[in-house]
Amino acid sequence: MTGHVLVVGASLSGLRLAEQLRGLGHTGPVTIAGAETRMPYNRPPLSKDVLTGDDDEATLVQSLSFRPRPTLDDVTWKLGATAVACDLAARRVSFADSSTLSYDALAIATGLSPRRVPLSGGEKDRYVLRTLDDALALRARLIAGARLAVIGAGFIGCEVAASARKRGLAVTMIETFEAPMQRAIGIVAGQAMQALHRSEGIDFRLQSKITGFVDRGDGHLDGIRLETGEMIACDLAVEAVGSTANTAWLVGNGLDLSDGVLCDNAMRVEGRADVVAAGDIARFPNLFADHVPRRIEHWTVPGFTAKRAAESLVKEMVQSSFAPLPAFWSDQHGLRLQSYGSPSLGDASELLEGSLCPDDMRRQGVALGYRRAGRMIGVVLIGLPAARLAHYRNLVDVGRET
């Protein structure tokens, strides 16, 4: 393949795709088109250091931006360009400004957008977090003494809550599950993290459903009404209730877009040789776990899926099966949570080291293992010294499915 590769989505996955294409010797033209007007930047600090710090926008842009490698000097960047349609048969993408681009190969890297709570009211005080602009808008409202409700106690919700608490806000988290981050790390580790948040003064309403945003009558929030009738009084709310894949521009091509873009194990979109996907948007079978296609929303995924996708475009045949070890981290209240493997797929968890009470987690850390039908499929490590991480990572059984 020597022709024009069009990468749609100019964030981590788009950048990595272009780097991998050049690294694998693709010398043909590459265009990276993205909806944001900024060059690719790093998102994980948005819920952590950006919210707790006071750096101005220019400083943040400087510190968060990825430095494109010199091999990308001849790549064309088309920023501020939202793809609105795509004709896979004609190999053409249309953009919101009515421009079109033709390609020989297409790489899909349009990631996710935050899901919104489908209830009206208090719109002037409701925030989401995905972009630097989102983070700057939210940070401007994180004023000591204000009351913040965080809806959704997944990773982003928990990090926002911890950051806001550090800035002196009164924080209440509202969650439908029994424990924060339960889907990703299970109920035992989730309850341990809840105890940590509580010890820092964060309040919880678990197994709680929202029935309404109570509006003062001027678009500002008075509070949030729960199914129990209770009202959580708040000055602002963050909706951290998950994300939806940015697939609207791909509709009409007969693709399976039911949760992201369905890919095969070579990151090819439904077996097409000229279309690949990478990163948060890609639903692919990771043979580390099994043959079930899933999306994985971790920072490490753009790196390894982009490499695989670029190989699929550049090489005639991609032989070996693809079974990367998933990994993610989170920082909350000064503790690093590190995960390897797929704890969410475990059917049982066990304590490997330490204890789950907040003081012990702070002092010495804790390690949990997750088994699936006896196989150690994941570990979650909270507050462990960096030197101990590799030991537990090696406990994860990387034997792949065939």
Ligand X SMILES: Cc1cc2nc3c(=O)[nH]c(=O)nc-3n(C[C@H](O)[C@H](O)[C@H](O)COP(=O)(O)OP(=O)(O)OC[C@H]3O[C@@H](n4cnc5c(N)ncnc54)[C@H](O)[C@@H]3O)c2cc1C
d(CA 72, CA 355): 48
Of 203-211, 222-230, 262-270, 322-330: span binding ligand X (CB under 6 A)? 322-330
Of 322, 328, 340, 370, which one interacts with ligand X (CB under 6 A)? Answer: 328
Which of 9, 59, 6 lies closest to 39, judged by CA? Answer: 9
Restricting to residues 150-169, name those near ligand X by CB under 6 A.
156
CA distance 113 to 104: 28
Question: Of the candidates 7, 26, 51, 111, which one interacts with ligand X according to CB under 6 A?
Answer: 111
Q: Are 296 and 143 in contact (CB under 8 A)?
A: no
- Convert residues 368-397 into a mask of x (bound to ligand X by CB under 6 A) and - (unbound): ------------------------------
34 sits near ligand X (criterion: CB under 6 A) = yes
Residue 246 touching ligand X (CB under 6 A): yes
Six token digits for residue 99: 């421009």
**CA separation for the pair 178, 134 (Å, rounded):** 28
Which H or E element spans position 166?
helix 155-166
> Regarding beta strands 100-102 and 92-95, do their DSSP bridges make them parallel or antiparallel, or are they unpaired?
antiparallel
Q: Tell me which stretch binds ligand X (CB under 6 A): 4-12, 162-170, 214-222, 377-385.
A: 4-12
Contacts of 80 (CB under 8 A, 6+ apart): 34, 35, 36, 37
Lay out the sheet containing 375-382: strands in order across.
Answer: 327-332, 335-341, 375-382, 366-372, 348-353
Taking CB under 6 A as the criterion, the residue among 52, 63, 65, 82 binding ligand X is 82
Nearer to ligand X, 125 or 280 (CB): 280
Residue 344 in the binding site for ligand X (CB under 6 A): no
* DSSP symbol at 41: B
Residue 64 or 117: which CB sits closer to ligand X? Answer: 64
Q: Does 329 bind ligand X (CB under 6 A)?
A: yes
Who contacts 350 (Cβ-Cβ below 8 Å, separation ≥6)? 368, 369, 371
Our finding on whether 280 is near ligand X (CB under 6 A) is: yes
Query: Identity (one letter) of the amino acid at 352?
Result: L
Out of 110, 172, 182, 338, name the contact with ligand X by CB under 6 A.
Answer: 110
Selected from 32, 60, 108, 112, the binder of ligand X by CB under 6 A is: 112
Binding to ligand X in span 163-202, by CB under 6 A: none
Q: How many CB atoms lie within 10 A of CB 109?
A: 32
- Residue 231 CB, shortest distance to ligand X, in Å, is 28
Estimate to the nearest angstrom the gap between the alpha carbon of 361 and the chain centroid: 25
Residue 205 interacts with ligand X (CB under 6 A): yes or no: no
Which listed range, 43-51, 64-72, 358-366, 389-397, lies at the site for ligand X (CB under 6 A)?
43-51
Token pair of 349 as six digits: 């968890």
Residues 124-153 contacting ligand X, CB under 6 A? 129-130
Q: Does 43 bind ligand X (CB under 6 A)?
A: yes
Q: Tell me the window of 10-18, 20-28, 162-170, 350-358 that interacts with ligand X (CB under 6 A).
A: 10-18
H-helix segments, 291-356: 300-314
Q: Does residue 19 belong to the site contacting ligand X (CB under 6 A)?
A: no
- List the structure tokens of 259: 């949760």
Question: 7, 2, 16: which is closest to 305 by C-alpha?
Answer: 16
286 lies in the site for ligand X, by CB under 6 A: no
Q: Report helix, strand or coil for 214.
A: strand
- Residue placing its CB nearer to ligand X in the complex, 246 or 349: 246
Cβ count within 10 A of residue 299: 15
Q: Is 65 in the site for ligand X (CB under 6 A)?
A: no
Evaluated on CA atoms 93, 94, 96, 98, the torsion sign reads positive
Q: Name which of 10 and 121 has its Cβ closer to ligand X.
A: 10
Cβ distance to ligand X smaller for residue 121 or 190: 190
Total site size for ligand X, rule CB under 6 A: 36
Residues that bind ligand X (CB under 6 A): 8-14, 33-36, 43-44, 46-47, 82-83, 109-112, 129-130, 156, 246, 249, 279-280, 297-299, 301-302, 328-330
